[in-house]
Structure 1
Amino acid sequence: MAKRVPVGELLVLVLLLLAPKTKAMSITRGHNKSRGKESSGSSDEGGAISFCLSWRLAVEANNVVAWPTVPPQCSRYVETYMINGQYDRDLDLIVEVILAYVNQTFLLGDAMDAWILDVDDTCISNIYYYKGKKYGCDPYDPFSFRTWAMKGGCPAIPSVLRLFNILVDKGFKVFLLTGRDEETLGQVTRNNLHNQGFIGYERLILRSSAYKGKSAMKYKSDVRKQLEDQGYRIWGNVGDQWSDIQGDYLGNRTFKLPNPMYFVP
């Protein structure tokens, strides 16, 4: 006859058998909950990156205009783009495209074949200034920027310096056209450009008092008209802002360099 096990002992035995399984289920639930939080965090981060990629594309395509600052959630994205190599690779590719076009042009030999290059964030970089402005998330401060520019410490953008030297060597008259104020920033800008290797350009053109308060597009269009009236043939026009390459008297080709840090109307 089989020995009967007391009910109390049987209950204890069942609980002991179930304990490891219950503990495992508890751990699994906790792990899944933790993974859910991690997944949610990754999803949020991925969503921000996706938005910022789309935002930058819209900016560079000039579909988003007159934007006052970089969206706050894109500060890290813009920083990564600007300093981790992609910005430089984009510039290198664009300059190669420009040079392919340059190699297809033929100078007439009358010293009237011209190119126009913008200055800020085309020839020389303001990346160190904008680093302190959260890469464009802070509103533009003209006094602060003027103080920065007065130091004359903007580094050359290597790929554009290479383009500049090739244009000069080929015999093009290169005009550097900037919205910087002629009276307050003229000499320091000349010195900055010279110190960074921009030597041999035809003329540095700065904004005179006559264009104070005028849009960059209006100002630069008028300057290009003056150059064409003087007989220059503008083969190419390069800038980081759409206002550098829009308007009138644009020349034969325009080339837009990337700049997701600020917008100039």
Structure 2
Amino acid sequence: MRCFHLLFVVVALLATAAADAKPVLRAVTDAPAGVASDSSDELYCDGWRLSVETGNAGPWSAIPSRCAGFVRAYMEGERYASDSAVAAADSLAFAAQALASGDGGARPAWVFDVDETLLSNSPYYAVNGWGSQEFNETSFDEWVDVAKAPALPSSLKLYKELQGLGIHIILLTGRSEFQRNATEVNLFFAGYHSWEKLILRQSPDIGKTAVQYKSERRAALEAEGFKILGNSGDQWSDLLGLPMATRSFKLPNPMYFIS
């Protein structure tokens, strides 16, 4: 009887707790009671950015209109710089460990994308809605010709540190061959020097997805004897496709999507 009575009390307490419990999960579009709508937008947009960075959002052409201010604040504030610095620190730690364990092979290499990986196009997007407008290839090409995009500070630091470790630097960009001169001028302007290769799209690459184009170029690099230890890019399409690097590192970019 004592055991039965104890069981009855436990069940009663659990039932009372369940009746008083509040839902743990809430839809991101639901505004909690007493929270202003702008706070709800911030919650939604922070969740949307996470979805973008993890690849859950899938293809998209422009950021949600309600998130334009959020993306601007993220890109101009400390969080973008901090997130980028964490990715760079993780990259360097992996590279040093891989070389120390002998995993680099005879020709260890690191592949970098260019836009939003080595160079920041924030000055362009600052006057073009931070991604809230659909991509305009003509105006972006004009910006590329200016060749004044600044370096991402953490990426420039990582770039030099990898060179100091003896790793071959390969630049693999979705830019086209006709932009080679402007790209080289901009890279030098931003402080990048002594890369092994700068690979741009050739005529046969026009129309290929970034995944197809970049994976084909990585295969060619491996055929030349490079061991691709790391690959840094702001798009999943910079990193996916076979062959892949030993480790791939995704940099933040909530402004646009490239398939």
Relative to the length of structure 1, the TM-score reads 0.82
Within 5 Å, give how 1:101-250 maps onto structure 2: 101-106=94-99, 112-183=107-178, 185-250=179-244
Does the residue aligned with 1:180 lie in a helix, a strand or coil?
Answer: strand
Indicate whether 1:80 and 2:82 are aligned.
no
Return the alpha-carbon distance in structure 2 between the equivalents of residues 249 and 263 of structure 1.
22
**CA apart distance, 1:40:** 8.8
Which amino acid in 2 is paired with 1:191? V
**CA apart distance, 1:123:** 0.2
Unmatched tracts of structure 2, length 5 or more: 1-31
Does the residue aligned with 1:103 lie in a helix, a strand or coil?
Answer: helix
Return closer, same or farther for 1:216/1:72 CA change in 2, 3 Å cut-off. same
Contact 2:104/2:229 (<8 A) preserved: no
Does the residue aligned with 2:199 lie in a helix, a strand or coil?
Answer: strand
**CA apart distance, 1:241:** 0.3
**CA apart distance, 1:139:** 0.5
**CA apart distance, 1:108:** 7.6
Contact 1:177/1:205 (<8 A) preserved: yes
**CA apart distance, 1:109:** 8.6
Does the residue aligned with 2:198 lie in a helix, a strand or coil?
Answer: strand
Please name the residue that 1:253 is paired with: 247
From 46, 50, 55, the counterpart of 1:57: 50
Which amino acid in 1 is paired with 2:211? M
What does the per-residue CA deviation read over 1:218-255, in whole Å, with 9 as the maximum and x for residues that have no partner?
00000000001111100000000000001111110000
Contact 1:111/1:173 (<8 A) preserved: no
Identity of aligned residues (%): 39
Relative to the length of structure 2, the TM-score reads 0.84
**CA apart distance, 1:41:** 9.4
Return the alpha-carbon distance in structure 2 between the equivalents of residues 247 and 136 of structure 1.
26
Return the alpha-carbon distance in structure 2 between the equivalents of residues 40 and 54 of structure 1.
19
Does the residue aligned with 1:55 lie in a helix, a strand or coil?
Answer: helix
Cα RMSD for the two superposed structures:
1.7
Return the alpha-carbon distance in structure 2 between the equivalents of residues 143 and 241 of structure 1.
21
Contact 2:110/2:230 (<8 A) preserved: yes
**CA apart distance, 1:194:** 1.1
Return the alpha-carbon distance in structure 2 between the equivalents of residues 166 and 68 of structure 1.
35
Which amino acid in 1 is paired with 2:169? V
Return the alpha-carbon distance in structure 2 between the equivalents of residues 109 and 47 of structure 1.
47
Q: Which consecutive aligned stretches of 4+ in structure 1 deviate over 4 angstroms post-superposition?
A: 39-42, 107-111
Return the alpha-carbon distance in structure 1 between the equivalents of residues 38 and 71 of structure 2.
14
Return closer, same or farther for 1:167/1:87 CA change in 2, 3 Å cut-off. same
Return the alpha-carbon distance in structure 1 between the equivalents of residues 143 and 106 of structure 2.
36
What is the number of residues matched between the two proteins? 226
Return the alpha-carbon distance in structure 2 between the equivalents of residues 194 and 150 of structure 1.
14
Return the alpha-carbon distance in structure 2 between the equivalents of residues 91 and 175 of structure 1.
20
Return the alpha-carbon distance in structure 2 between the equivalents of residues 86 and 167 of structure 1.
24
